[in-house]
Amino acid sequence: MKKIILTFFALICSISCLGQIIIDGFNYNLSIHYINKQNNDGTITRIKIVDAILVSAPKTLSGSFTIPTAITHKGKRYEVIYIGPQAFKDCNLLNSINLSKIAHVDFMAFENCTALTKVIFPEGIKSIGNNAFSGCTSLTDISFPEKTRMTSIGIGAFMNCTNLGFAELPYVHNNYGGFEELSSNLFNGCSNLIYVKIPSTIEGIGSHAFEGCKNLTDIYCYSTKAPKLPNPKGTNIFKGTNIDGIRIHVPQNALKNYENTAWNQFKSIDTNMTRPQVPNNRKKEDANIKPLADAKKSNYNNEIDAWEDVEVMPSFRQGLDDFVKRNMKYPVVAEENGIQGDVTVTFIVEPDGDITNVEAKGPHKTLESEAKRIIKLSAYYGWNPGKHNNEAVRVRMKKIVHFRL
């Protein structure tokens, strides 16, 4: 059984190093390699490629950074299409990275970049190595250009990305045949992961892939053939999740294929493939939150820098009452002890429709936690922001969540 765990060197026929250089604190290995290209008539043409591997970045790198598409050395141009092992590891001041024309990200390349909130993947990305982004605890979402065609995503590539809310994986197909599998430990420890898109090419799910994803609610499987689980119930894949609360969404003509396999352990399998809309920027910078000019008005709360009443109040696009009922998972402890009641949740709807500053008060901490989880989840399904003087502003809202046995 062949898994889609490959290093980018497996894609190259031969490679040799021409030396190492330092530019602006970044180390590069200059290299020359050859690839074989098959022509229309079946013959093979050997192509020489000269490029650069970004070996290491300065640990003081901060803010946003764009990988250069090419560097010049002694009058020669070298395209930058590789990021080497541990190249950006522990760059804790880096907030966002644009991978430009990078095709291959090697193992642990961005491990423990704890301030990294955004990664812009290029259409030409081909492989991501083992633990490449593990421990990026501020990373909020993962998505790829629609036409991306990858050959591999390594073991634990996004492991312990504890702030990760959603992941839309691209088409993955290795060039060597064999079994296409979602790598083991891929999202292990992503405790805030809410939904995942699994492409149609995936035939199996690796062990512990979603372990500890306690807030996971939706998995969108695009394959008409149900991906295989590593054991009859796939328990280690979803260890630490609330399996009863996870919805599996599959193509219309594939429903029975999933219902007749180990996927039937999930109580909800449907054909609704409409994925939620995710805010463009879920993480806020304090510098972007500024008191408004007329903040002295009575409907403006200076303590939290937010309005409490505006001309156009924020609105949830799906109907919040129905959303709460549909997504509620009654806490086991509260149910076993006959605990019920109302939880008052306050939160702020940001100008971009994100939800922040979620607080709850109710009869039991487990009910409070569940009410907060639901409101946070709503951010992924679309809020229209409030407006004052025809401008989107921060507005504090209140919602009472009813728990009844």
3-state SS string over the chain? CCCCCCCHHHHCCEEEEEEEEEECCEEEEEEEEEEEEECCCCCEEEEEEEEEEEEECCCCCEEEEECCCEEEECCEEEEEEEECCCCCCCCCEEEEEECCCCCEECCCCCCCCCCCCEEECCCCCCEECCCCCCCCCCCCEECCCCCCEECEECCCCCCCCCCCCEEECCEECCCCCCCCEECCCCCCCCCCCCEEEECCCCCEECCCCCCCCCCCCEEEECCCCCCECCCCCCCCCCCCCCHHHCEEECCHHHHHHHHCCHHHHCCEEECCCCCCCCCCCCCCCHHHCCCCCCCCCCCEECCCCEECCCCECCEECCCHHHHHHHHCCCCHHHHHCCCCEEEEEEEEECCCCCEEEEEEECCCHHHHHHHHHHHHHHHHHCEECEEECCEEECEEEEEEEEECC
Give the torsion sign (CA, 338, 339, 342, 348). negative
Domain(s) labelled CATH 3.30.1150 in the chain stretch across 286-403
Residue 298, token pair as written in the block: 């009575």
Closest of 48, 94, 50 to residue 73, by C-alpha: 50
Phi, psi (degrees; rounded to nearest 5) at 333: -60, -45
341-349 and 355-361 beta bridge pairing: antiparallel
Residue type present at position 201: T
Please work out, in degrees rounded to the nearest 5, the angle formed at the alpha carbon of residue 221 by the alpha carbons of 327 and 180.
Answer: 145
Question: Residue for token digits 């690839």?
Answer: 35
pLDDT reported for residue 237 = 92
Collect all residues with Cβ–Cβ distance below 8 Å to 155 and sequence separation of at least 6. Answer: 5, 130, 131, 183, 184, 185, 186, 206
pLDDT reported for residue 224 = 94
List the chain residues with pLDDT less than 70. Answer: 1-18, 33-37, 48-50, 174-179, 231-235, 276-304
pLDDT reported for residue 231 = 61
Classified by CATH at the fold level, domain 286-403 comes out as: 3.30.1150
Burial of 395 per CB tally in 10 Å (0-12, 13-18, 19+)? buried
Domain(s) labelled CATH 3.80.10.10 in the chain stretch across 8-270
Contact 197, 221 (CB under 8 A): no
Closest of 380, 395, 349, 352 to residue 196, by C-alpha: 380
pLDDT reported for residue 94 = 95
As a whole number of angstroms, the distance between CA 134 and CA 404 comes to: 40
Number of C-beta neighbours around residue 17 at 10 A: 11
Instruction: Name the class of domain 8-270.
Output: alpha beta
The packing angle between helices 365-378 and 320-327, to 10°, is 120
Number of C-beta neighbours around residue 4 at 10 A: 25
- Please tell me whether the overall predicted TM-score, pTM, comes out greater than 0.75 for this model: no
As a whole number of angstroms, the distance between CA 101 and CA 99 comes to: 6
